[in-house]
């Protein structure tokens, strides 16, 4: 027999429904603005195609974020912050052409997308109703009383601050933000610059290695290991030391701005999150 309480559907707060609608509009706007940039680009070259394709994939990331919001997942806040910031950089780097003035439709689309991303971050971090909704953890297998069930369970690791989660999510963007310009630089090989092949291959391998390094580091970061914070700082500085010179050498100043800018933004967020998380920790007890 099912009770009325079991069949009643809990209605989400209006702020949460507004956030999911805003995320869907932002995902659609990302696609539209990228298509506008491609349409008005004076040269529809290989590098622009790669950057445009990567930026359009962010529309799928917004759909993933909608799923996290609907489920009330705590990771939605840092995920939304990183996605909004990097989306602004990813689209902004394509609005400005190599020469001349940006087209008016591209500028208007970029302004609209920026306003949408800022609104998403404001709702995620300023709305009390949204904050009260985003408190759930992911489901996992739980053994209790001799039975196995698939339900929500708090992680066994110590609780972590939202800023530490922000650092983790930001660090996970290092690898794709390195692989995209490396793929763009691969076009130089197709243009006959065979001398750049070893550097491009190294760039690809470095981007893949960073993904594993970040995965290892953040696993211990979420468990409160202080050495993991130092390691994440070292990884961040190493990523910048590898990616920015390669962007400048293989892609020029234009590539340094277009591809290095989003990576610098993610690195700043990761380091700032670590700093804020350290400040938020209670002081050690007096001895």
Dihedral angle computed from the Cα positions of residues 81, 85, 90 and 96, in that order, rounded to the nearest 10 degrees: 160
Is the pLDDT confidence value at 47 over 80? no
Task: Give kind and range of the element (H or E) at residue 285.
Answer: none
Count, residues in the chain: 287
Task: Give kind and range of the element (H or E) at residue 73.
Answer: none
Candidates 27, 130, 117, 29; CA nearest to 76 is: 130
Q: With cut-offs at 50, 70 and 90, classify the pLDDT of residue 9.
A: very low
Cβ proximity of 53 and 138 under 8 Å: no
Is the pLDDT confidence value at 123 over 50? yes
Give residue-wise pLDDT tens across range 249-261: 888 887 888 888 8
Cα 66 from chain centre? 14
Q: Which residue in the block uniquely carries the two structure tokens 């109703």? A: 129
Above pLDDT 70, what percent of the chain? 78
pLDDT attached to residue 197: 85
**Measured distance CA(209)–CA(82) in Å, rounded:** 21
Task: Give me the mean pLDDT over the 243-247 stretch.
Answer: 93
Candidates 9, 21, 25, 49; CA nearest to 184 is: 49
Question: Exposed/middle/buried for 89, CB within 10 Å: 0-12, 13-18, 19+?
Answer: buried
Candidates 113, 156, 157, 165; CA nearest to 134 is: 165
Six-digit token string for 25: 């509009």
Six-digit token string for 172: 């996970």
Six-digit token string for 170: 């930001």
DSSP label at residue 196: G
**Measured distance CA(31)–CA(36) in Å, rounded:** 9
Candidates 189, 177, 181, 179; CA nearest to 252 is: 181
Task: Give me the mean pLDDT over the 179-206 stretch.
Answer: 83
Candidates 28, 22, 156; CA nearest to 76 is: 22
40 vs 66, residue with greater confidence:
66
pLDDT attached to residue 4: 40
pTM: 0.76
Angle formed by the axes of helices 46-70 and 14-40, nearest 10°: 170
**Measured distance CA(99)–CA(114) in Å, rounded:** 23
pLDDT attached to residue 1: 37
């Amino acid at each position: 027999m099912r009770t009325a309480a079991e069949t009643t559907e809990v209605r989400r707060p209006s702020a949460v429904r507004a956030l999911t609608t805003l995320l869907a509009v932002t995902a659609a706007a990302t696609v539209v603005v990228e298509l506008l940039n491609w349409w008005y680009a004076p040269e529809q070259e290989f590098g622009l195609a790669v950057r445009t394709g990567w930026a359009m994939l962010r529309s799928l990331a917004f759909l993933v974020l909608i799923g996290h919001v609907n489920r009330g997942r705590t990771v939605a806040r840092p995920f939304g912050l990183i996605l909004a910031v990097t989306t602004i950089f990813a689209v902004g780097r394509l609005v400005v052409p190599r020469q001349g003035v940006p087209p008016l439709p591209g500028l208007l689309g970029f302004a609209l997308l920026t306003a949408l991303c800022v609104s998403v971050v404001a709702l995620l971090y300023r709305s009390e109703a949204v904050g009260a909704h985003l408190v759930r953890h992911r489901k996992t297998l739980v053994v209790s009383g001799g039975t196995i069930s698939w339900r929500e369970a708090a992680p066994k690791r110590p609780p972590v601050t939202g800023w530490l989660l922000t650092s983790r999510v930001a660090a996970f963007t290092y690898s794709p933000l390195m692989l995209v310009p490396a793929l763009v630089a691969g076009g130089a090989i197709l243009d006959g610059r065979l001398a750049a092949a070893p550097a491009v291959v190294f760039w690809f391998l470095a981007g893949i290695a960073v993904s594993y390094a970040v995965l290892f580091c953040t696993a211990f970061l979420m468990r409160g290991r202080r050495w993991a914070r130092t390691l994440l700082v070292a990884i961040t500085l190493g990523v910048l030391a590898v990616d920015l010179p390669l962007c400048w050498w293989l892609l020029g100043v234009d590539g340094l701005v277009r591809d290095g800018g989003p990576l610098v933004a993610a690195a700043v967020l990761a380091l700032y999150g670590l700093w804020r998380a350290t400040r938020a920790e209670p002081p050690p007890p007096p001895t």
